[in-house]
Amino acid sequence: MNDKRFAAVALLLLLPLLWLWPCTFGDRYFIPYDVNQFPPVSTTATDAELQAAREGRNLDVTEVPVWFLPELELAGAELRAGRWPTWNPFARAGAPLHAHGLIGLCYPPNWIALFADEPAARLGFVAWINLALGGLLAFGLLRQLNLGVSAAFVGAALFELSGPMAANSFFWMRLASYVWMPGVLWAMARVARAGEIGPLKVTALAVSFAMTWLGGFPPFAATTTVFAGLWFLWLVATRAADQGWFAAQRAAGALLLGLGLGACLSLPQVLPSLMFFPESARPPTPEWRDIAAQAFEPYGLLTWLMPDAFGHPSMIDRLPYANGATQILLNTRATGELTAIPNYNYTEYSLTISSFGALLAAFGFARGRGRHCWFARLALLFALGLGMFLPGLQALFHLPVVQNVWPMRWPAAGTMFVAWLAAIGFQRLREASARASIYLGLAGVVAAGALWWATGVPATEHARDPEWAIQKMIAAYGTTRDGVLNHVQGLPPAPEDRFAASFEQFADAGTEGALWLGGASLLLLTFGLLRAQRRDLILWASVAAALTQLAMDGASVTTGTAAPRSRDSQVHAFLRGQAAAKTSAGGFTIARATSAPTTPSQLPPGQLMRPGLRDLNFYSHADARTTQPLRRLLDTYGQALGLERDVAARVAGKGFLSTTLPAGLMLHPWFDLIGIRYVLSTEPGLAGLGSPVGPQLDGRGRFFIYERPNALPRAFAVPRVAKLDDDDAVLAALTNQALRPAAQAFVVRDELPIETAAGAAKRTVTFVLDDPTRIELDVAAGDAPALVLTDTFLPGWSATIDGERVRVHRCNHSQRLVMLPKRACRVTMTYDAPGLAVGASLALIAALATLVYALLGRRQRRV
């Protein structure tokens, strides 16, 4: 490796530290926000403690502290106990852990955190590895395309520090799946160029393709797969044009072999996910209206030049995205609702690649030649077209892989092609005449002026006429003035004028973007006017400015936090103690309630994972059935409780609870059936929940724990099994106000063909073992014919009674039922993730075949 390439590789390895050094070598954790800013900890926190908890928070990335990190810690604990982590018993009534894929258990860099005593302390290193991989793989791809070292470095560095990288850096599974796209394209280019089945090249392709699926985020793995398919067609077609169809067929065979081996290597993760997907709350075939509603709004393209155009994670309290006046005005689709859909945020809508990078990409798009430039152009347009749901490309969302990726995610996947064009633009700029850079600089100055002027128009119009925006929204959305004000200002109304705040933010971001763009354009003008010996200095100054801009943008959302977990409080201690006291009964379930649904921040989910302590508000992918009774309850009684019309979709539309529960609903006996014992809230005197128990915190806000007296144990014997015609009849019975949950279990008639006799004698049930994937219950003798375990029913759970295999039936729509003998017995339930053993076996065979093939190929070359 020559000095120039060594310097490029070294810089690409080090660039992520511009964001990550406080979380890799400092005392901060690479977690988007500190949960100690929420109650109960915040209730008694000092001003200094609360300020420290809020420092650098990124509330756009909601899931990491309340889902991903707790499950990563659970997975590590399971591995140390000698069990493969396949089940999370703390999420609602239990949910798959490995099968949803988002922890990325099979992705090697994640093992740094997975096997650590404190996983949170290693997340910065995991992000560093992934970011560096993205840069190095992009560098390899661009070099493979015969770009010079300097141009390849520029393109790779812009990709490595781009907006999608920063926005997804906390999501280790998103980042892992995202960064391997250039690796897959690079490996495919090497295989196609060789024109033969070269063992090492095919192996590199197989590993790269497997990594994007093992990373853990299927949407980004799917986008890489689609672009790999397009690249395959491009490479085969260009080889046929250059060397004929025989050579093209050989290249196609080698490419298909590599991709096929990669698909096999990914099966330990992919096959369990495919087996769970039809059972999950995510529909295998999304509704067309849901796909259309998630289209990327054209205003999101402004983030190429002004990432903070519509707000920033640190100002969500002051300027909530969903209420932002600017994006509501710029929204292009009539949704029937006064809101920006999808809400602008610092994740899917973050496309920044620096002002200089955007100019280079535009120049490469217009003036690029060779180096498969046309593929980069078409791939970028394809990504943007899919993202914006353009006519013609819409039809592709009927295809299985494409339809399961929300449109708004495609533009981020196109960032690699922006970097590709920027690298071509950089090289062309060095080769072109001075006139080209002068014209580009002048165009950039004009664009900067237009950006500055256009982004200031809303603020100017609002200052001239405060009714200007209101009247436009009334006309666009067919609503009333009160409807506009209530949405933008909120209820109760925010003290600040959010119209003015939104327009000022837009103008300020436009001014900043115009300054960066204008500065980059002036440097290009200078580059064109200087003599040859000084031009490189100006060009590298422009590159340094671009990397500085990206470093500053990314650093503002990747600060990390000082604390990885919720600090202990009296509330934590009380709930732990109650769980320990109820171990033999299997513990209980907690939930959060308020008078109206809101963010479930009352002791954020995932902070108390103790045996027997289940959390109804725990995030993570759920099965399709667990929350369906709740949705029906909300639809049935929501209006009587004074709730909004679409409350069921808002509370539980994702399959897990994304808000608190309305307190008035919790008197229904269905909540007794699912074992809700304690209700957490920051509101006193919640209707029907009685007096608070345990510690009551009063300081910076208040915190209460309510106890529901009639919650059933987690497992109990029922005297009767009621057979109903179908699931709808079961749901109707469960949501009936007259439900007596301990009196019977409801099953669908066809799913329990055997006859069941009623028995009145009660039978005690005691938990002997309560591991995530193995549960042992001692059941006393008696006449009650069936055991109900209120845990989630899903394929993969099996049961034995005194060692003899018995069938696990589905009861109460989503729970488990086992028919019992009259004698005392021990019931054992175990879980084996469907598809895991088969996927691991096939991957092992593929890995051995790949290794043998690579070794034989290496031996043949030596001979």
Structural domain including 335 reads 305-356+425-564
If you search the block for the tokens 């300097």, which residue do you land on? 150
Read off the pLDDT of each residue in 70-88 and give the average, rounded to a whole number.
95
528 and 615 part of one domain: no
pLDDT of residue 861: 56
437 φ, ψ (degrees, to nearest 5): -70, -30
Q: What is the pLDDT of residues 580-590, one digit of tens each?
A: 999 999 999 99
Percent of the chain with pLDDT over 90: 75
Looking at 507, 535, 564, the residue that finishes a domain is 564
Q: How far apart are CA 487 and CA 320, in angstroms?
A: 11
Count how many domains the chain has: 3
Question: Residue 337 pLDDT more than 70?
Answer: no
Confidence class for position 819, pLDDT limits 50, 70, 90:
very high
* Residue 268 belongs to some domain of the structure: no
pLDDT of residue 95: 96
Token pair for residue 736? 């009936």
Q: What is the pLDDT of residues 48-59, one digit of tens each?
A: 999 999 988 998
Per-residue HEC secondary structure of 669-684 comes to CHHHHCCEEEEEECCC
pLDDT of residue 321: 84
Q: What is the pLDDT of residues 554-565, one digit of tens each?
A: 999 999 999 988
519 and 666 part of one domain: no
At residue 100's C-alpha, the angle toward residues 655 and 93, to 5°, is: 50
Domain of residue 762, CATH code: 2.60.40
pLDDT of residue 832: 96
Per-residue HEC secondary structure of 295-308 comes to CCCHHHHHHHCCCC
Q: How far apart are CA 75 and CA 500, in angstroms?
A: 47
CB 172 within 8 A of CB 104: yes
Read off the pLDDT of each residue in 235-247 and give the average, rounded to a whole number.
91
* Residue 756 belongs to some domain of the structure: yes
Per-residue HEC secondary structure of 336-392 comes to CCCCCCCCCCCCCCCCCCCHHHHHHHHHHHHHCCCCCHHHHHHHHHHHHHHHCCCCC
- Between 347 and 517, residue with greater pLDDT: 517
Read off the pLDDT of each residue in 574-585 and give the average, rounded to a whole number.
94
CA 345 and chain centroid, separation: 13
Q: What is the pLDDT of residues 606-641, one digit of tens each?
A: 999 989 899 999 988 889 999 999 999 999 988 888
* Residue 804 belongs to some domain of the structure: yes
CB 594 within 8 A of CB 685: no
509 and 583 part of one domain: no
446 and 552 part of one domain: yes
What is the pTM assigned to this prediction?
Answer: 0.94
Q: What is the pLDDT of residues 430-477, one digit of tens each?
A: 888 888 999 999 999 999 999 999 999 999 999 999 999 999 999 888
Cα–Cα distance list, 308 to 418, 444, 507, 698 (Å): 20, 20, 10, 37
Read off the pLDDT of each residue in 74-92 and give the average, rounded to a whole number.
95
592 and 629 part of one domain: yes
539 and 449 part of one domain: yes
Confidence class for position 299, pLDDT limits 50, 70, 90:
very high
Question: Residue 736 pLDDT more than 70?
Answer: yes
CA 809 and chain centroid, separation: 33
* Residue 794 belongs to some domain of the structure: yes
Q: Pairing state of beta strands 588-594 and 661-662?
A: parallel
Looking at 564, 581, 603, the residue that finishes a domain is 564
743 and 681 part of one domain: no
CB 426 within 8 A of CB 155: yes
438 and 459 part of one domain: yes
In the DSSP assignment, the letter for residue 708 is: -
Token pair for residue 567? 């600090």
pLDDT of residue 858: 62
20 φ, ψ (degrees, to nearest 5): -100, -5
Token pair for residue 325? 């006046």
* Residue 66 belongs to some domain of the structure: no
Confidence class for position 494, pLDDT limits 50, 70, 90:
confident
789 and 688 part of one domain: no
Read off the pLDDT of each residue in 58-70 and give the average, rounded to a whole number.
93
497 and 535 part of one domain: yes
Question: Residue 754 pLDDT more than 80?
Answer: no
* Residue 44 belongs to some domain of the structure: no
351 and 464 part of one domain: yes
Question: Residue 857 pLDDT more than 70?
Answer: no
556 and 588 part of one domain: no
Chain length of the chain: 863
Residues with Cβ within 8 Å of residue 46, at least 6 apart in sequence: none
* Residue 71 belongs to some domain of the structure: no
Read off the pLDDT of each residue in 839-859 and give the average, rounded to a whole number.
82
CB 177 within 8 A of CB 110: no
* Residue 652 belongs to some domain of the structure: yes
Q: How far apart are CA 829 and CA 798, in angstroms?
A: 6
